[in-house]
A and B are shown apart, each in its own frame.
Chain A
C-alpha cells in the first residue's frame, strides 16, 4: 500500500479542503487582516504537500506536477510584474495603485493590492510546492 495508514488518509481527506479554503481566505483578505499572498500561498501549498505525503505518489506523476508547478510559478511572477507594468502603461507610473480604492475594510477595496496578493500567492504556492517536489526527488537519485 502506498502512502500512510488509513487513519492518516481519512483525516487528510477531511482536512485538506478546509486548509485549502483557509488559504484562499488568507489570500483574499490579505489587504484587510494579517496574512496575505505569501502566508496564504504557503498554506495552499501545504494542502498539496499533505495530500502527497499521506497518499504517496509515483515518479511520473511527480514529474508532471513539477512541470505544472514551474509553469504556475512563472505565471504568478508574470502576473505580479504585469500588474506593475499595467500601472506604468495605464497611469504612467510603475506600481501606481491606479484602481479605485473603494471603502476601507471592505472586501472590494485597496485597488491593486488584492490582485498583487493573488499573484504572490500563486508564485509562492507553486514555488514552495516545487521545492517540496525537488526535495522529494532526492529519493529517486538515491535509488539510481
Chain B
C-alpha cells in the first residue's frame, strides 16, 4: 500500500465524515481533524525520508499509465511543500478549538478546512495539469467560504472580493490549460514538457506562460494583483488567516508557478534572462510597495496581511535569481515565512480572543498578561526580519548569496535594505500591543492556543539552529528537483519507481 494517495484521501474522508460526526458528539470533530492533520505530518516526514533514496515517486491513479491516466509525481520539492502544509494545518486545527467557541456551525469550519488541506496536498503532489486546476479550485472555493465564516458585512465583502479576484485567476489558468491542450493534445505535465520542447519558444509559448504568470500572481497576492489580500486576511478567523498567509498563497501561486516554469516550460536563467528579470522586478515591487503600505496600517491583522504580500516578493526574487542558492533561498523562505507568518497570525488570533479587537490604537501592554503570545510574536517577528540563528535568517542569507553569485550586487544590497522595512512595521505592533502600560486586565490565551504557537516557535528555533541537515536533506534536494528542469519528464516516464 502506498502513502501517496493518503495525502489527499485522508483529509477528504475527514471532510465528509465531519458533518456526520458532528451530529453524534461535537468535540469529536476537533479531535478527529487535529489527529488527521497530525497523521498527515507524520506521513509527510515519511515522504521526506522516501525522497532521500528515490528522486521521484510516480503513482499511477487506477493503474493507468501516463500520459493516459493521471499520475501523482512526488519529488523533493513536493515533499517540502507537503511538510509545511501539514505543520501549518496542524497548528491551525489546534488553535481553532478555543478560538471557534464564539462561532456557531463549527463542523462547517472543519469540513472546509479539511477541503482546503486536501486541495493543497493535491496541488503539491499531482503530475497532471488539469488535476492541478481541480485541486486548486477545491482549495480556493473552500477558502472563499472560510474567509466569509464570520458572515458579517465586512467578512462577506472581503470574501466576495477574494472570490472575484481568485476566480479571474482560476479561469485564466483554465483558459491557458485549454489553449495548451489544443496545442499539445495532452494534460500530463511531463508530456506537455516533451511537446513544448518540440514547439520551441514561439510567441504562443510566451503567451501561455504570461497567462499562467498572471493567474498565479493573483493567487499568490503579488503587488499589482494584491488587493484581495488586505481584506481577506483580516476578515478570516485567525487560524484561517494563518493557513492562508502561511501556506495557501504559496501553494496556489508560488509552488505551481515554480513547478511550471522550471519543470514543464523548462526555462533557465542562462537561456531566458529576460523572463527571470521580470520575476525579480515583480518581487521587488511587492516587497517595496507592500512594505511601505504596511508601515501605515493601524490594524494588527491588516498590517500582517501587507507584510505577507511583501514577504512573498522575496520568494519570487529567489526564483528569479534562478541559480542553486537563489532557489534554495526561495524554498527556505517558503518554509521560514510559512512558520513565521503562520505564527504571527496565530498571535493576532490570541490577542483578538483576549481583547475582541485588533485595532493597534486600542491595544496596549499585553506583554505582561500574555507572555506566551508576546514571546511567540517576538520569535516569529525576529525570524521574519532575519535575525540569526532563526530560520528566516538562513532563508534571506541564501537569497542574498544567490544574488551575489549571479552578479546582482545591487539586488543583494536592496534585499538587505528592504528587510529594514520588515523590522519597522513589526516593531510598530510590538510597541503598541505588547509594550506600553496596561490599561485593564484581559483574559489569558487558553492552553490549546498556546500549544499551537509554542510548536511553531520550537520549529523556527530548531530548523534555524539545525539548518545544515535541513539544507542537506530537505531544501537542497528540493532545489535540485527544480533545477533538474525538463529532466522531470524523463523521471515521470521512466516507470521504474511505480506505485511505491
Contact = CB atoms under 8 A, between A and B. Distances in A.
A94 B62 contact: yes
Given A94-B5, A94-B59, A95-B62, A70 B19 contact: yes
Given A81-B9, A94-B61, A89 B19 contact: no
B35 interface: no
Interface in B1-36: 1-2, 4-5, 9, 12-13, 15-20, 23
Contacts of B60: 93
Interface in A76-96: 77-78, 81-82, 84-85, 87-89, 92-96
A61 to B, nearest CB: 18
B494 interface: no
B9 A84 contact: yes
B63 interface: yes
Contact of B16 (A78, A88, A96): A78
A27 to B, nearest CB: 20
Contact of B23 (A71, A75, A97): A71
A74 interface: yes
Interface in B323-360: none
Contact of B62 (A75, A78, A81, A93): A93
Nearest to B498: A93
Given A71-B19, A94-B5, A78 B13 contact: yes
Interface in A54-81: 70-71, 73-75, 77-78, 81
Given A70-B19, A74-B20, A96 B9 contact: no
B184 interface: no
Given A71-B20, A74-B19, A89-B1, A81 B12 contact: yes
Contacts of B12: 77, 81
A85 B1 contact: no
A16 B15 CA distance: 33
Given A74-B20, A77-B15, A96-B62, A88 B5 contact: yes
Contact of B13 (A70, A81, A87, A92): A81
For chain B, give the interface size range.
20 to 34
A18 to B, nearest CB: 31
A95 B15 contact: no
Interface in A85-119: 85, 87-89, 92-97
B23 to A, nearest CB: 7
A81 B16 contact: yes
B131 interface: no
Contacts of A95: 5, 61-62
Contacts of B59: 94
A73 B18 CA distance: 12
Contacts of B18: 74
B62 A85 contact: no
A82 B59 CA distance: 19
B61 A85 contact: no
A92 B489 CA distance: 25
Contacts of B23: 71
B499 interface: yes
B57 to A, nearest CB: 13
A74 B20 CA distance: 7
Contacts of B2: 88, 92-94
Nearest to A89: B1
Most chain B beta-carbon contacts within 10 A, residue among A81, A88, A92: A81
Contacts of B61: 93-95
Contact of A77 (B1, B16, B63): B16
Nearest to B13: A81
Contacts of A70: 19
A78 B17 contact: yes
Nearest to A91: B63
B268 to A, nearest CB: 34
B16 A74 contact: yes
Contacts of B17: 74, 78
Contacts of B9: 81, 84-85, 88, 94
Contacts of A96: 62-63
Interface in B32-57: none
Given A88-B1, A88-B9, 8 more contacts: A71-B20, A74-B17, A77-B16, A78-B16, A88-B5, A94-B9, A94-B62, A97-B62
11 contacts: A73-B19, A74-B19, A77-B12, A77-B15, A77-B16, A82-B13, A85-B5, A88-B2, A88-B9, A92-B499, A95-B61
Interface of A: 70-71, 73-75, 77-78, 81-82, 84-85, 87-89, 92-97
Closest 3 CB pairs of A and B: A77-B16, A94-B5, A95-B62
Interface of B: 1-2, 4-5, 9, 12-13, 15-20, 23, 59-63, 499
